[in-house]
Chains A and B, each alone.
Chain A
Amino acid sequence: MSLVRLEGVTRTIPLPDAPPLTILTGVDLEVNAGDHISIVGRSGSGKSTLLNILGLLDAPTTGRILLGDTDVSTLSSAARDRARGRDIGFIFQQFNLLSGRSALENVMTPLLYASGRQFWRRSAIAAEMLDRVGLGHRLSTMPEKLSGGEQQRVAIARALVRSPRIILADEPTGALDVETGETVMGLLDEVARTAGSALVTITHDPHVAALAERHYRLDRGVLITTGAGAEVSA
């Protein structure tokens, strides 16, 4: 059974004085446990829109999203939010760390929306996660004081701290120089594998895409598979 499946997903946006803008047409995509998927595409091709739909942040105009075997449109908005918190972790191009909060507090944030052990032991869990990304010594540092690569590592720790089944990364290396980008991406790929989480990465960078096993291209709203396996990773 797949973790998330998109079936015939279309996304159009009504415009005031023009015909509606079509961003996605007939997208089918299946994310299985432990998958590493890369999606490339030109700017404006709808990559972020697709990722937002996968992450239950946006709803398709037509078509279905299945989370496990539940049709997401049957869930209440609160249930959708909770499912997102439990199963999905986001990594953004601009890191989107909360300013004024230490690295530890940032990583603790998702655990605030958990319950039970994850909630009450959030500080210890977050500290351990930061240690896993090599920032165990920077717990109380504010994001503003961290380098770009360190900030993205904090964001990786935050995305993984609830052990989600899927991690969605929207151009995670887009704001980093090439070398740092590769290190960070290598780390993300590795921690995701250790945690057994599926990873969907949007990227412009062929090296980043090469780390994945299934490769897609988004072209004018249409998702095309460009191959699977290790042949690109060379």
Chain B
Amino acid sequence: MRNAATGFVGAVVEAWAELRIHRTRVLLSLVGVAVAVCAITSVVGLGAVAEQAQREFSERGGGRPATLTISSFAPDTGMPAPYAETRDAYAEALDRYGVTYSSTVLYTGIRAQFPDGVRDVSLTVVDADYGTMHRVPVEQGRWFADADAARLAPALVVNEAFLVALGGVELAANPTVSLVGAQDTTAVVTGVVPDNYPEEGPTAYILLDAYERVAGPEEVALGQPSLEAWVPPEISDELSERLRTDIASALGDGVEVSVNRNDFAAFGEDPFLPIKLLVGGVAALVLLLGALGLVNISLVTVRQRIREIGVRRSFGATTGRVFFAVLMESVVATMAAGVVGVLAAVAIVKSPFVTDALGQGVVDLPPFPLDAAILGLAASLFVGALAGLLPAIVAVRVKVIDAIRY
């Protein structure tokens, strides 16, 4: 279709030349379109970054899909059984179903000796698998290995605030800290994770066995640790039920066992939806206003161009061609504005300021989402076509002989 190609290219060439002539007016009306496209694209792009941040944050807290939390207690006696026994029962059940990743989780606290005195530290007691299950973002040093359980001086993975509290020492200097427990122990810092939020206090991870030696088994049992298991999401419901019955029968009468799924994917719901809708709605409004300005300008210029359209028709432009060329004026203009808007959005979303604020601690910062860019361009195309329709209809209705009469 040679004619279709020349027809299309020709119409775009005409449209572009026309825009060049009215560039000041067109530019002004396009500012609104560019801003709106930028806003829409940014919202979608920022949404993706925020979602990834939220996701990683949730995974750090609730584990990756699907994470089952197993816990048990004896309501009658109220006396917690030694955790070692309970844990054996859990492990046996998990083994039966071939679950390979599991970790004790106990949120507790401990007192530690810092240069400026003794301070409380929030402590998460875990097994080595926890690092993988929660994507713990170790930025210096390393996460626990199984061998760490046997170390004489317990290993600690701490947050940055902890390191700062120690006097800003380097990890390479193998900093130690004295833990105040059943017996005082000197622990070695082997890994550092970022703070979860600004001004977070010192926190640390410690392996269960090490903690048991520091605090004593009774303290562990009193804390009622739970066990997390990472299982395939498809079978998580069925597996929870089986695990519950198996463990309940292993632990005997009077013990209640609960198995719950609590990773973020179990809840669904996009927490940013209301903000996205609000900003998206405002942007759509701005886009429509920009389009209205463009309609206005193109209508005025089309009226001024009736003679010109008549001349073009007398040199062989078909009505279809005139329609398309006038339509393309708006489309070419808004697409240009759209490209500018999308580029601006990329610059905004990828700017250090925004990534720092939104993507704080995000390990896998997603690239600028292609959907967002496509959405922005599609929106400008749509608005351009909408704005060009009316002037194009006016242009087609021009009567050639009236237009070229002087």
A contact residues vs B (CB 8 Å cutoff): 48, 52, 55, 57-58, 77-78, 81-82, 84-86, 89-90, 92-94, 96, 98-101, 105, 109-110, 112-116, 119-120, 158, 162
> Closest CB-CB distance, B307 to chain A, in whole Å?
7
A77–B406 touching, CB < 8 Å: no
Task: List the 10 closest A-B pairs by CB distance, nearest first.
Answer: A85-B316, A113-B316, A110-B315, A100-B21, A81-B318, A119-B6, A115-B6, A78-B318, A112-B10, A94-B406
Determine which residue in B7, B9, B318, B319 has the highest number of CB atoms from chain A within 10 A of its CB, and name it: B318
- For the complex, is B171 an interface residue (Cβ under 8 Å from A)? no
B320–A78 touching, CB < 8 Å: yes
Alpha-carbon distance A84/B321, docked complex (angstroms):
14
B10–A113 touching, CB < 8 Å: yes
A82–B2 touching, CB < 8 Å: no
Alpha-carbon distance A86/B313, docked complex (angstroms):
12
**Which residues from 263 to 318 on chain B have a C-beta closer than 8 Å to any C-beta of chain A?**
307-308, 311-318
Known contacts A48-B405, A98-B311; 19 additional CB pairs below 8 A are A57-B400, A78-B318, A78-B320, A81-B318, A81-B319, A85-B316, A90-B314, A92-B404, A92-B406, A93-B406, A94-B406, A101-B21, A109-B311, A112-B10, A113-B10, A113-B321, A114-B316, A115-B7, A119-B9
B17–A115 touching, CB < 8 Å: no
> Closest CB-CB distance, A59 to chain B, in whole Å?
10
Which residues on A sit within 8 Å (CB–CB) of B315?
84-85, 89-90, 109-110, 113, 158
B14–A112 touching, CB < 8 Å: yes
B6–A57 touching, CB < 8 Å: no
- For the complex, is B401 an interface residue (Cβ under 8 Å from A)? yes
Which residues on B sit within 8 Å (CB–CB) of A119?
6, 9-10
Subset of 7 A-B contacts with CB under 8 Å: A81-B316, A81-B317, A93-B406, A96-B404, A109-B315, A112-B317, A119-B9
**Which residues from 365 to 406 on chain B have a C-beta closer than 8 Å to any C-beta of chain A?**
400-401, 404-406
Known contacts A92-B404, A93-B406; A85/B6 CB under 8 A: no
B contact patch SS: helix
A114–B318 touching, CB < 8 Å: no
> Closest CB-CB distance, B324 to chain A, in whole Å?
12
Which residues on A sit within 8 Å (CB–CB) of B400?
57
A116–B2 touching, CB < 8 Å: yes
Alpha-carbon distance A96/B21, docked complex (angstroms):
17
B405–A82 touching, CB < 8 Å: no
> Closest CB-CB distance, B310 to chain A, in whole Å?
8
- For the complex, is B24 an interface residue (Cβ under 8 Å from A)? no
Alpha-carbon distance A57/B6, docked complex (angstroms):
24
Cβ contact of B401, chosen from A58, A93, A115, cutoff 8 A: A58
Q: How many residues of B contact A (CB 8 A)?
A: 28
Which residues on A sit within 8 Å (CB–CB) of B10?
112-113, 119
Which residues on A sit within 8 Å (CB–CB) of B404?
57, 92, 96
- For the complex, is B340 an interface residue (Cβ under 8 Å from A)? no
B17–A101 touching, CB < 8 Å: yes
**Which residues from 1 to 30 on chain B have a C-beta closer than 8 Å to any C-beta of chain A?**
2-3, 6-7, 9-10, 13-14, 17, 21
Which residues on B sit within 8 Å (CB–CB) of A93?
406
Determine which residue in A55, A98, A113, A115 has the highest number of CB atoms from chain B within 10 A of its CB, and name it: A113
Which residues on A sit within 8 Å (CB–CB) of B319?
77-78, 81
B contact residues vs A (CB 8 Å cutoff): 2-3, 6-7, 9-10, 13-14, 17, 21, 307-308, 311-321, 400-401, 404-406
Which residues on A sit within 8 Å (CB–CB) of B312?
109, 113
> Closest CB-CB distance, A53 to chain B, in whole Å?
10
A112–B13 touching, CB < 8 Å: yes
Determine which residue in B7, B10, B315, B400 has the highest number of CB atoms from chain A within 10 A of its CB, and name it: B315
Which residues on A sit within 8 Å (CB–CB) of B321?
81, 113
A81–B311 touching, CB < 8 Å: no
Name B321's closest neighbour in chain A (CB-CB).
A113
Name B310's closest neighbour in chain A (CB-CB).
A96
Name B13's closest neighbour in chain A (CB-CB).
A112
Which residues on B sit within 8 Å (CB–CB) of A55?
314
Name B406's closest neighbour in chain A (CB-CB).
A94
Which residues on A sit within 8 Å (CB–CB) of B308?
98-99
> Closest CB-CB distance, B326 to chain A, in whole Å?
14
Which residues on B sit within 8 Å (CB–CB) of A57?
313-314, 400-401, 404
Alpha-carbon distance A113/B11, docked complex (angstroms):
9
Alpha-carbon distance A31/B141, docked complex (angstroms):
94
A85–B406 touching, CB < 8 Å: no
Determine which residue in A52, A82, A112 has the highest number of CB atoms from chain B within 10 A of its CB, and name it: A112
Known contacts A113-B321, A116-B2; A96/B316 CB under 8 A: no
Name A89's closest neighbour in chain B (CB-CB).
B315
Which residues on A sit within 8 Å (CB–CB) of B311?
96, 98, 109
Cβ contact of A86, chosen from B7, B316, B405, cutoff 8 A: B316
Name A99's closest neighbour in chain B (CB-CB).
B308
> Closest CB-CB distance, A132 to chain B, in whole Å?
18
Alpha-carbon distance A173/B223, docked complex (angstroms):
106
Which residues on B sit within 8 Å (CB–CB) of A58?
401
Which residues on A sit within 8 Å (CB–CB) of B21?
100-101
Name A48's closest neighbour in chain B (CB-CB).
B405
Which residues on B sit within 8 Å (CB–CB) of A105?
17
Alpha-carbon distance A84/B313, docked complex (angstroms):
9
Which residues on B sit within 8 Å (CB–CB) of A77?
318-319
